């Protein structure tokens, strides 16, 4: 809305939330689009999403969700879009007015963000892939790699018992993940076309210390963006691979949220500029 109309509202929810770049990206988009919207960060821990949504008035257009709320959101929705249903998690909630009543739509833009980050790096197809981690972001990575052609990715987890959501999603996708240990990662890195790391920077650093080779030109998307260049990303690039920073995934998933919430194409260049300034790239 513009002029004297009341501003629409949106925000990012999660715990912890202080580090989130979502306000920077969304506010930059609103400014570039010339719309009078507000966007803030809200610390909401597990179990608190339902009450938060209940307290929202009609000015709210949407929510961005980060951990630990993505899975919790699914049963709260009136409708869950196919991709969110497939991966079993929503990182986006659209608050729509249907016949005078609020209607909650759950969506997932993480998959889009990963796909777009790979496309931006020139990766449009792959036959083999490796995913580090087994949580919600890893599940989105599995869907994204599936769209590139990887139907049996290696998935490195410390405990298969904590990867139940990923395994259930794999069954829905028709994907057959091959679970491996972190100790097996160095050998696999020498043969895969693409990789996605969803583990913290410290865990990635442990893996980096054991890497001796990667497939030439193989692309690694490291979902971490603090630090901007992780030890794993730096080691991967030093061995001849292509490093894709987590901020690229973040930019593109936020851009898709902008499109869904506002109905307008996201001004990615303006959002990228704002993110670059904050991250001192």
Bridge partners of residue 38, in order along the sequence = 9
- Tell me the DSSP string of 181-243: -GGGHHHHHTT-SEEEE-S-HHHHHHHHTT-----TT-EEEE---SSSS-HHHHHHHHTT-EE
**Residue in 70, 235, 248, 252 annotated catalytic:** 70
How many angstroms from the chain centroid is the CA of residue 184? 25
* 3 state DSSP class of 99: coil
Contact assessment for residue 83 and residue 105, using Cβ atoms and an 8 Å cutoff: no
The CA R_g of the chain, rounded to the nearest whole Å, is 19
The residues, ordered by sequence, that sit 6+ positions from 4 with a Cβ below 8 Å of its Cβ are none
Peptide linkage before 166 cis (omega within 30 of 0): no
The residues, ordered by sequence, that sit 6+ positions from 48 with a Cβ below 8 Å of its Cβ are none
Q: Between vectors from CA 237 to CA 149 and to CA 179, what angle results, nearest 5°?
A: 45
* Distance (Å, whole) CA 227 – CA 237: 15
* Distance (Å, whole) CA 75 – CA 53: 13
Residue 85 a catalytic site member:
no
Q: In what order do the strands lie in the sheet with 178-180?
A: 178-180, 154-156, 129-132, 194-197, 219-222, 242-244
Q: Which residues are tagged catalytic? A: 70
């Amino acid at each position: 809305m513009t002029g004297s109309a009341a501003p629409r509202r949106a925000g990012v929810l999660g715990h912890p939330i202080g580090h989130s770049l979502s306000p920077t990206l969304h506010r930059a988009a609103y400014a570039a689009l010339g719309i009078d919207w507000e966007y803030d960060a809200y610390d909401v821990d597990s179990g608190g999403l339902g009450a938060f949504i209940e307290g929202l008035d009609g000015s709210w257009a949407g929510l961005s969700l980060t951990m630990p709320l993505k899975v919790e959101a699914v049963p709260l929705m009136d409708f869950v879009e196919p991709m969110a249903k497939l991966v079993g998690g929503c990182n986006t909630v659209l608050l729509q007015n249907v016949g005078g009543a609020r209607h909650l739509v759950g969506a997932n833009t993480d998959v889009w963000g990963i796909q777009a980050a790979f496309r931006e790096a020139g990766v449009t197809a792959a036959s083999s892939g490796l995913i580090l981690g087994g949580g919600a972001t890893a599940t989105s990575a599995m869907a994204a790699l599936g769209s590139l052609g990887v139907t049996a990715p290696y998935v490195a987890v410390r405990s298969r018992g904590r990867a139940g959501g990923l395994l259930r999603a794999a069954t829905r996708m028709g994907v057959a993940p091959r679970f491996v240990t972190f100790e097996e990662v160095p050998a696999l890195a020498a043969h895969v076309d693409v990789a996605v790391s969803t583990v913290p920077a410290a865990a990635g650093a442990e893996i980096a210390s054991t890497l001796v080779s990667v497939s030439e030109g193989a692309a690694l998307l490291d979902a971490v963006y603090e630090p901007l260049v992780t030890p794993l990303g730096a080691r991967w690039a030093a061995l001849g691979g292509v490093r894709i920073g987590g901020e690229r995934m973040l930019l593109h998933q936020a851009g898709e949220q902008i499109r869904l919430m506002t109905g307008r194409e996201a001004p990615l260049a303006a959002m990228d500029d704002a993110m670059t300034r904050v991250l001192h790239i």
